[in-house]
Amino acid sequence: MLTTNPKPARMSRMDEVGRGVYPFCGPCTATSEAWRAAEVRGPMGGRFYGHRDVCENCGSSVRTLYKTVLWVPVSKVGRYRIVPTGGRSYVGRKVIEQPLRTVVRREPVSAIAQYPELDGTPDYKQAEAYWLDREPGQALPHYQAALAEREQLLGADDPATLRVRLRVAQGLLATANYGRAIAWFELLTPQLVEVFGSHHELTRTAAEAVTGARLMVGGPRSEAQLLADIVAADVSSGADAQLLRDQAALGKAQLACGDISDAVETLIEVVRHAVPGHPDTAVYRSALAEACEVAEARGKKRDVQLAGAARQLLNRADAPTST
C-alpha cells in the first residue's frame, strides 16, 4: 500500500543530518537517541516531570519520565528531550546520559566472497546506480530483486544481505510507503544490532529512519490503523513473508497504543506461521516475549491469560509453526 506524502519539505528536513532529525536541531540530536513513546492510559503507566535545558534552536526541553501507579510516580525511567506537537502529543528522544564509548568491533564477515557474482548482477548494479543518482523510487524494485538473490544464497542475516535490506527499507521510506517501511525497520534493526552492534552507523541509520517514518504517520494510533490496512491488503494478495513482517509491526504498534490483548494475539499468529530457524523468526519471538512482559505487568485478566498461552507457544521448539 502506497501512501502519499503531503509534506515533502518536512521529509527533506529529516534527511539533513547537519540540522538534526526533524524537529530536533543538530546538537540536540547528537546528545540523544531515537525513542518510541507508548500511549499511556489508565492509572498505571508513566508521566513526565520537569522542564529544563530548553533549546533555543528547536525549542525542545529535557523532562524526566517516571513509572506511575494510581498516577503517583514510583520509579524513574530516564530523561528525554521533548518537543510538544499539540494537546498531549509530543515527539521525544532519549537523552544519552553518558558519552558513547568508542567500541572497537571487527566488521562482520560476509559469505559474499563465495558468491562474487552477486555484486555484478544487473539488478544490483542498476539499483546502486539509481541510488547514487538519488532516485530511490527507481532503485527500489531492483534492490528488492537483488535482495531475493542474496537471501537465497547468503541468508537473511548475512552482512551483505542486511545492507540491501536496509536499502529496501530506506527506499520504501523515501517513496512515502511509511507503513511497510516501518515494518521493514522493525524487523531489520534488531538484526543490525546483532550483526553490526548497537552503535554501528547502519544500526543508527535504521533507528533514526523508523523514527522519521513514525513522525510522518502521526503517532501509534495512526500507525496501527495504517498497518492494519496494509495487513488486510497482504491477506488478499497472499504475500506470506510480507504478511508476517507487516503483522509483526502491527502487533508492536498495538502494544504502543496500549491495546495489549490485540498485540499479543497478533504476534501469536506471526510466531505460529513463522519459518522454523529463520533469522526473522527470532525477531518475531522476541516481540511476542516483550508483549507478554507488558501483559503480565500491566494487563487485565484476559491479557494475562493470553500471555500464558503465548508463553506456552514460545516454550515449545524454536519457531513453531501452525501445523
Query: In this predicted structure, what is the pLDDT of residue 215?
Result: 82
- Residue 10 counted as domain residue: no
For residue 276, count other CB atoms closer than 10 A to its CB.
10
> What is the tally of structural domains in the chain?
3
The DSSP line for 69-129 is: ETTEEEEEEEEEEEEEEETTEEEEEEE-SSPPP----PPPPPGGGG-GGGGGSHHHHHHHH
Beta bridge partners of 154: none
Contacts of 23 (CB under 8 A, 6+ apart): 58, 60, 83, 91
Residue 266 lies in a domain: yes
Task: Tell me the whole-structure pTM to 2 decimals.
Answer: 0.77
Residue 35 has what DSSP assignment? -
* Contact indicator for 77, 67 with CB cutoff of 8 Å: yes
Look at residue 68 and tell me if it is in a domain: yes
Please report whether residue 3 resides in a domain: no
Helix, strand, or coil (residue 166): helix
Q: Is residue 262 part of a domain?
A: yes
273/305 same-domain check: yes
**For residue 107, what is its C-alpha cell?**
566488521
Same domain membership, residue 306 and residue 225: yes
* Structural domain contains residue 211: no
Examine the fold and report which residue of 137, 162, 196 is the final residue of a domain before the chain moves on: 196
Q: How many CA atoms lie within 13 A of 163 on its CB side?
A: 14
pLDDT at residue 72, as a whole number:
66
Single-letter residue type at 247: Q
Q: In this structure, are 186 and 231 located in the same domain?
A: no
pLDDT the model gives residue 172: 96
Task: Answer yes or no: do 181 and 246 share one domain.
Answer: no
What's the CATH code of the domain at 239?
1.25.40
Per the structure, the complete domain to which residue 300 belongs is given by: 220-315
Q: Give the three cell numbers for residue 309.
A: 498461552
- Please write the tens of the pLDDT for every residue from 191-241: 999 999 988 999 989 988 888 888 888 878 999 999 999 999 999 877 689
Residues 24, 70: one domain?
Answer: yes
Q: Is 98 exposed, middle or buried (0-12, 13-18, 19+ CB in 10 A)?
A: exposed
Q: For the chain, which ranges sit under pLDDT 70? A: 1-19, 37-45, 69-73, 87, 98-105, 239, 317-323
What number of helices (H) and strands (E) belong to the chain?
A: 12, 5
Q: Do 175 and 255 fall into the same domain?
A: no
C-beta separation of 193 from 146 below 8 A = no
25 plus 68 within the same structural domain: yes
What span, in angstroms and rounded, lies between the C-alpha atoms of 33 and 46? 19
**In sequence order, which residues have a C-beta less than 8 Å from that of residue 323 and are 6 or more positions away?**
none
Do residues 183 and 258 share a domain?
no
pLDDT score of 156: 95
Residue 81 falls within a domain, yes or no? Answer: yes
Does 321 map to a domain?
no
Q: What is the pLDDT of residue 2?
A: 39
